Structure formats: structure tokens, C-alpha cells
Amino acid sequence: MAVVGVLALQGSFNEHIAALRRLGVKGVEIRKPEQLQNISSLIIPGGESTTMAKLAEFHNLFPALREFVQMGKPVWGTCAGLIFLANKAVGQKEGGQELVGGLDCTVHRNYFGSQIQSFEAELLVPELASKEGGPETFRGVFIRAPAVLEVGPGVEVLADYPIPSNKVLYSSSAVEIQEEYAVPEKKVIVAIKQGNLLGTAFHPELTADTRWHSYFLKMASEVEEGTSNAIVAVSRGDPSSNQQTRYDLPIFL
Ligand code: GLN
């Protein structure tokens, strides 16, 4: 029977477990290497990747996490979790940190700046909308967020974020820039998929929109022999009730 684990060392693991619960799925908190043997897919939450890496090292989790990824088990990293899954991370202040790796990409750890530069944005999510229905956009909550700078050939881009390359100029100038001087938008990648690995630079668990969780559960179910009913459902679970979800507002549980 499939069980979804959530790495529960630090960061927004409770919010992920709550989002899974809203889909009728029980998420299991994972803190020790041996617990990975009891789960068939894993969510690595956002938080602070250096702190999470130190705790993972303390609990000797890195070898078991790498093995989990190499076995082809579905893993979804959000924000700091995406950094964990990347093959390469840049933008560290000191030296770098240990990564799990597996996702063929380079991420910038703090691409969008510090805490005060955190923001929300409506992202175009065609693949998510085609699989999960609902609006064509998803409200991305970016908190000290990373971005994906480069991807390998096997990586599918699921969402990007258009940044006006004249952003700084706009924000530091009271003068409106004439349209003819406007610079074309630059896009950075903020959601990717490679085989059974999923990475999002933003925090879907902090919104009421459970489509990314549902998308990941389907990835996990496809890996399972049999079908999606292999996922453990808790009593209140009726995934179809998700149709009633308010898509617009962030939630904080
Ligand atoms: N940029 C942060 C880091 O380096 C991640 C932020 C987050 O997970 N919200 O860990």
C-alpha cells in the first residue's frame, strides 16, 4: 500500500500534511533513515536549506534519501526541498551545502532576494491545469525563493515566472519608462519535473489550491503497481470535494 512521507526536520511539513489531509491522504512525518523504508513517495518541504541539511546530516539521512531518489521513488521538493533535490545549487554565502541531488538542474538558492523581497504571483500552469483542471493559473507564494537557472535535457518545465529585465529601473524611478524603451521580459523557471522527481520554487502548501499535491499523488500512484486507490485515504477523504476549493486565497493552518 502506498504511503506518502513528508520530511519533517524543519520548515513547512505540517502545512504539507494538512494539504494532503484535505485530499483525503495521510502524510507520514519522516525524521529517520529507516522510516524511508515504509513510504513509497516523499515530499521535502520548504524552510531553510542549510538548517535542513545540517539536521539531515545529524540524523544520517543523506545516504538513505539519495537511495530513495535513485530507486525511482517519487519525490517532490518545494522551495528549500527543490534546492535539496537539485544536482547543483549556487548562491550560497559560505561554501555550499550537502544536496540529495537527482534533479538535473542548477538552482540559485535565493534568486529573488531576501525575506522582504518575498512575493506572490499568478503563474501560468498549463500542464497542471490540463491534468488537474481548474484555472490556467496558480497563485505562487515565493518566500526567499530559489529559481532554476539551467535544466538538463530530460527535464520538463512546468512553470516559469516572467521578470521584467528593467524591474530595478522601474522600482527605483518615479518616471514611467516609454514603451519604446521597454526591455523584453526575462523568464526564470520555477517548476520542473524529471521522471518521478518534481520541484517547485514556491509554496503550494500555503494556498488552498491542492492541485500540485493532487498532481504529485497521481505521479506516486502511477509508480505503484495497480492504480491510484493504492494511496492511503483517511476517513474524510473525498478527493472530488476538491472541486469546491477556493483557489484564490493563501491559507495558513
Ligand atoms: N532560499 C531558502 C534556502 O536557501 C529557501 C526558502 C524557502 O524554502 N522558503 O533555504
Q: 224, 40 in Cβ contact below 8 A? A: yes
Provide the β-strand partners of residue 16. Answer: none
CB atoms within 10 A of CB 95: 6
Check pocket membership of 141 for ligand 1, CB cut-off 6 A. no
pLDDT of residue 165: 60
Do 30 and 42 form a contact (C-beta atoms < 8 A)? Answer: yes
Determine the Cα–Cα distance for residues 122 and 249; give it in Å rounded to an integer: 11
Task: Give residue 183's pLDDT.
Answer: 58
Q: Is 47 annotated as a binding residue?
A: yes
Amino acid 252 reads F
- pLDDT of the residue at 17: 98
**Positions marked catalytic:** 79, 203, 205
Query: In CATH, which superfamily holds the domain spanning 4-244?
Result: Class I glutamine amidotransferase (GATase) domain (3.40.50.880)
Say if residue 143 carries a ligand binding annotation: yes
Euclidean distance between CA atoms 192 and 157, whole angstroms: 5
77 lines ligand 1 (CB under 6 A): no
> What burial class does residue 19 get, using C-beta atoms within 10 Å of its C-beta: 0-12 exposed, 13-18 middle, 19+ buried?
buried
* Residue 52 identity: M
Q: Which atom of ligand 1 is nearest to the CA of 47?
A: 8
Ligand 1: distance of its center to the CA of 26 in Å?
25
State the cell numbers at 107: 538552482
Q: What's the chain's length in residues?
A: 253
Cβ of 143 closer than 6 Å to ligand 1, yes or no, is: yes
Does the annotation flag 49 for ligand binding? yes
> What's the CA-to-centroid distance between 108 and ligand 1, angstroms?
10
Going residue by residue through the chain (253 aa), what tens digit of pLDDT does each one get? 578 999 999 999 999 999 999 999 999 999 999 999 999 999 999 999 999 999 999 999 999 999 999 999 999 999 999 999 999 999 876 567 899 999 999 999 999 988 888 999 999 999 999 999 999 999 999 999 999 999 999 999 999 999 856 444 333 334 444 455 555 578 999 999 999 999 999 999 999 999 999 999 999 998 875 544 445 444 443 444 444 444 545 554 4
Measured from the CB, is residue 47 less than 6 Å from ligand 1? Answer: yes
Kindly give, in sequence order, each residue whose CB lies less than 8 Å from that of residue 181, ignoring residues fewer than 6 positions away: none
Count Cβ atoms below 10 Å from residue 196 Cβ, excluding itself: 19
Determine the pLDDT at residue 139.
97
Q: What are phi and psi of 160, to 5 degrees?
A: -130, 170
